[in-house]
Amino acid sequence: MAHEVVFALARRRVSAFVAATLAVLVALVLIAQLTSASNPAFAGPGDTDGDGCPDTNEQNTTPGSQTTGGLRDYLNQYDYFNPTNDGLNRVDDILRVVVDYGIDPGKPSTDRSWIGPDDWDLGIGDGLHRMDDVLAIVKQYFHDC
């Protein structure tokens, strides 16, 4: 799978350094996925902002609840980053963003901008698919809704 990403990036004339860095990142994520326990998602009612994460999850303020969609703004449609729309942030979501690397203008489903203060506090994308988008989805790895 990692080699497919590298070949896709090579076809887009992405530098060898960036392609190698992304390949290592994908390999590390694959290892993490194989060694991590699954984190089941809470299926609550209502999703005011339409980002795929229920309002009840996003309004949870318990420390550590970001892994189940908590500590987010239920009115911000960009703060829950799940490009495959399956409620589980895994390798397939990261690869979806990596494959769009360097393609501009950015697709809303794989393009975000950091607004902070937390790593998962994201806003509307800047129209450019770059490393900040890859890092944004990696930082939401196992943040499930």
Cα–Cα distance list, 14 to 11, 20, 46, 126 (Å): 8, 10, 41, 20
Neighbours of 60 (CB within 10 A): 18
- Nearest of 42, 83, 40 to residue 59 by alpha carbon: 42
What is the mean pLDDT for each group of 10 consecutive residues in the chain (145 residues)? 54 61 55 40 69 96 96 96 96 96 91 95 95 96 96
Cβ density class 110-121: b for 16+ within 10 Å, e for less: bbbbbeeeeebb
pLDDT at 106: 80
Q: pLDDT per residue over 52-70, tens digit each?
A: 999 999 999 999 999 999 9
pLDDT at 25: 56
What is the C-alpha to C-alpha distance for residues 53 and 42, in angstroms, rounded to an integer?
9
pTM for this prediction: 0.69
What is the C-alpha to C-alpha distance for residues 122 and 142, in angstroms, rounded to an integer?
16
CA–centroid distance for 103 within its chain: 17
Is 47 strand, coil or helix?
coil
- Nearest of 125, 103, 99, 96 to residue 112 by alpha carbon: 125
Q: Domain segments of the chain: what residues? A: 2-37+47-138
pLDDT at 123: 97
